[in-house]
A and B are shown apart, each in its own frame.
Chain A
Amino acid sequence: MNQKNIRNFSIIAHIDHGKSTIADRLLELCNTVDKREMEDQLLDNMELERERGITIKARAVRLDYHAQNGEDYEINLIDTPGHVDFNYEVSRALAACEGAVLVVDASQGIEAQTLANTYIALDNDLELIPVINKIDLPAADPDRVAHEIEDVIGIPALDAPRVSAKNNINMQSVLEAVVEQIPAPTGDPSAPLSALIFDSYYDSYKGVIVYIRMMEGTLKAGDRIRMMATGAEFDVVECGFLRPLGFESSGILQAGQVGYLTASIKSVEDTRVGDTVTLCEVPCAEPLPGYKPCTPMVFSGIYPADGARYDDLKEALAKLKLNDASFLFEPETSIALGFGFRCGFLGLLHMEIIQERIEREFQIDIITTAPSVSYKVTKSDGTVLQIDNPTNYPDPGTIVSTEEPFVKADIITPKEFIGNIMELCQDRRGVYINTSYLDADRVTLHYELPLGEIIYDFFDTLKSRTRGYASLDYELADYRESELIKLDIMLNGEIVDALSFIVHKEKAYPRARRMAEKLKEHIPRQLFEVPIQACIGGKIIARETVKALRKDVLAKCYGGDITRKKKLLEKQKEGKKRMRQLGSVEVPQEAFMAVLKLDS
């Protein structure tokens, strides 16, 4: 294929603005997929993705399009994740493109996530094609949205294709715009190889399948390649194009193309997103710009509900890790929960996805501790510790200063909710920067917020205080000095390590109260009274009591019928078997989870 007939693009859209449906329609238009094989949201092939309606990892597909100008084009559609946790993945996927289709909902307008990804696209010098979707909805106002795009992003949008992906209206115009407006890739097929890795996943037959964008040079099966950041070297087994239902081996890829390679690679650890693939024999002078090793932002402990399944959990985590270089885990032990793992995630959604996959794909019941961020603690002897597990928090007497991560947050909202949001941000120790108007009705609020507050049900609260209208995007800014303390929970006088957390001094009291109340609510009455105490150091700041059980007996037994008693006791017995013995107190698994899940 002639390089001038190649187009590489992404779709940028807010979570429910119809990205997956648009992708499906484009695939249909190019007859890339047989109607019979067409499944909704074809690009999202993980079960969880379909259910949540989001794209977790980038995927790519090649479309062959016969354009109205009579020419044939190779169009590569690179899908991007639509969530703030995966910003880096988005940036690498966009770096693999020359253009992006910006999908905006004709009634809802631009959202924070769209805007954030649009800026990443502009940073990568991408040609932006606005597309106004859902024009057939009663509330659609494409003119207003077109103006908004022009005002906010500063690109012409009045002639933007107006479509309905759902009802297949005007979809061809999107492909025509891609062909007409997005520049063809450049790059010299005879130059030393440099290819950008924008995704990879593990396949048990082929090993890791690496998704690449050929920037310079040519790649052939049999070539010896090197990953420039990790230094790992492999022999290419196979390379070729990405098709919706599989891979089309071509044995060769050239500058400008998008495709895959396999090389019997055992772990995605060696194929980091953003890394550059080059040839060992004729390496390129420098790696492609923009590579960042991933840094987890959110941490939590994951324990098997049934201690006997520790090895199963370990295996599950290792398997997930095969496919997800941004997920980290290492063994840890808790007095309350036994043997488990400390895990690092890109963000809350990433965490939830991993947890759900463990339960769903590996069928292991797990207990997870409350999410934490990574705090910086400077001790009097000058050492600086990075603390992501409350258990490792040093003795307060030895601490000189504590710092916590702050993020820059952009919140887009209809202006009627500004008051509510400011109140929320204030409450979450946010620092107000400024407000910018998107149009007469909508604004972006710029704040700096502690990440620790964002992972504590911020998103849900934001949604509920704005009836779902506000959208949030954030990126890590820096570490700031902050008055932090460690809060411990005691049951019957004994500290339960798994319930400890690090919190800002001002927040300690309300959090302690809430925790104690929730524990009281969830710990069933037992033979003995159970005092619940929240304390900082030795000082108790909140207390609740679970009163002792007074009566638990079945009296009547008609004519030797003991079946009812047996059933009841069997149920009680099974319930108790699932209990966690925390010191002298028995806490049901469910209660433990409910307490740790702070936002319910």
Chain B
Amino acid sequence: MLSLYLHIPFCKRKCAYCAFYSGPDGDREQYTEALCRAIRQAGAAESRPLSTLFLGGGTPALLGAENLQKLLKTVHTSFSLEKNAEITVELNPESTTPALLQALKEAGINRISMGVQSLKDRELQTLGRLHSSAEALAALQRIFDAGFTNVSVDVMFGLPGQTPAGFEQTLERLLSFPITHLSAYALQLEEGTPLGDAAEAMEEEQEEALWQLLCRKTAAAGMEHYEISNFARPGFESRHNLAYWRRTDYIGLGPAAHSFWKGARYAYPEDLESFCAAPWPLRDSQPIGEAEAREEQIMLGLRTFEGIPLSLLPKGFDPRRYRDFSYLKNEHFILNERGFYLANSIISDILSKE
């Protein structure tokens, strides 16, 4: 099983909470060239077919339809793809023009992930998003109108001033569309971001109430909570996303992109120039030994509804003490929703008992 991630580090403007590597600067054509070169190098080093492909950012749409098509074409010529490969592109409401959607469809994109974040204009402003709630809803409609059926949206909770009623409305309106997948992230105030430096973290009781609301609403809509931050209708779990947690191989291309490939982890440097100069496979690799692999399996597996085999639990760890936060199924130790919300504590409990 092999996945490919292409990072498009361009944004019209950085959102107020974003600590990721992206920005408005850089030559689109040159970058497309560099990325195509990396794709060819990666393809040359691989014989396995791709199960998933993900174009994320940044804002992939800022490359323009032509460059995106060029990227996809290069992927197709450099790799073989599984028949039902999951091919996702990340979009923002402001860039979902009918023309672009049409072009993406033609290029073989079969899954859209759109960053909505909120349907409250005041919250969108706080986040520094470039779209209004009305624009987000219209964009969502255009995506379905263009014939996409596998559609995911991102929302955020724990936003300054966010109320349970407001969050409930956001969720209800989004779930009234036939979306197959929802990613929900708690706002993380990162130092050095405008929001991180200005805003105060939400009271934990309030944020917990939003989390519980999220879990209730998605369950009522028939979605499964298959990973801490991800919900999907059965069968529509993001296979690309799961690859990260299942520790199957993925190649990430682009500045700051990470890979897990043939037993080692790789990361590109965080700037455009260094990326363009560094051929795949990267020279700096971090091989993962047996003990570390086991730890990764525990910390990543417990983020999902698949959990980890009981055999991975160290002797000193008694799962019965964690009854309130977990359940056992098919010889697996799996966190429930309370457990998800305290995952770090439980995972570090397990790791400390090794």
Contact = CB atoms under 8 A, between A and B. Distances in A.
A308 to B, nearest CB: 15
A76 B339 CA distance: 74
A139 interface: no
Interface in B311-354: 321-322, 324-325, 340-349, 351-352
A559 B268 CA distance: 12
A568 B344 CA distance: 9
A526 B185 contact: no
A560 B260 contact: yes
Contact of B229 (A555, A559, A568, A584): A555
Contacts of A560: 5, 243-244, 250, 252, 257-260
A579 B351 CA distance: 13
Nearest to A571: B348
A584 B349 CA distance: 13
A558 interface: yes
Contacts of A574: 352
Interface string A551-562: 111111111111
A580 to B, nearest CB: 12
B345 A552 contact: yes
B213 to A, nearest CB: 14
Task: Name the interface size band of chain A.
Answer: 20 to 34
A572 B260 contact: no
Contacts of B352: 572-574, 576-577, 579
A549 interface: yes
B177 interface: no
Contacts of B1: none
A122 interface: no
Interface in A376-392: none
Contact of A553 (B7, B243, B258, B343): B343
A338 B80 CA distance: 61
B207 interface: yes
B299 interface: yes
Contact of B7 (A559, A566, A573, A577): A559
A92 B211 CA distance: 73
A563 interface: yes
A573 B252 contact: no
B196 interface: no
B106 interface: no
B258 A561 contact: yes
Given A559-B258, A568-B344, A550 B204 contact: yes
Interface string B271-312: 000000000000000000000000110011000000000000
A569 interface: yes
B215 to A, nearest CB: 13
A480 interface: no
A385 to B, nearest CB: 39
Closest 4 CB pairs of A and B: A572-B348, A576-B352, A573-B351, A561-B258
B299 A527 contact: no
A551 B204 contact: yes
A551 B342 contact: yes
A572 B267 contact: no
Given A550-B205, A555-B185, A566 B299 contact: yes
Contacts of B7: 559
Contacts of B229: 555-557
Nearest to B247: A562
B204 A562 contact: no
Contacts of B185: 555-556
20 contacts: A526-B345, A527-B349, A550-B205, A551-B186, A551-B204, A551-B208, A552-B345, A553-B228, A553-B342, A553-B343, A554-B344, A555-B186, A556-B188, A557-B244, A559-B7, A559-B257, A560-B258, A566-B296, A572-B344, A573-B351
B300 A572 contact: no
A565 interface: yes
Contacts of A562: 244, 258, 265, 296, 299-300
A569 to B, nearest CB: 5
Contacts of A551: 186, 204, 207-208, 211, 341-342
Nearest to B22: A558
Nearest to B292: A566
A563 B228 contact: no
A554 B19 CA distance: 14
A550 B185 CA distance: 16
Interface string B248-267: 00101000111110000101
A569 B351 contact: yes
B56 interface: yes
Interface in B108-151: none
Contact of A555 (B188, B244, B265, B322): B188
B267 A561 contact: yes
Interface in A293-315: none
A589 to B, nearest CB: 13
Contacts of A584: 321
Contacts of B244: 557, 560, 562
A528 to B, nearest CB: 8
Given A551-B204, A572-B348, A572-B351, 9 more contacts: A553-B344, A557-B229, A559-B258, A560-B244, A562-B300, A565-B299, A566-B296, A569-B348, A570-B351
A88 B295 CA distance: 58
A549 B342 contact: yes
Interface in B1-39: 5, 7, 20
A554 B300 CA distance: 12
B299 A569 contact: yes
Contacts of B341: 550-553
B299 to A, nearest CB: 5
B346 to A, nearest CB: 7
Nearest to A526: B345
Nearest to B346: A527
B5 A552 contact: no
A527 B265 CA distance: 32
A584 B321 CA distance: 10
Interface in A428-449: none
B208 A550 contact: yes
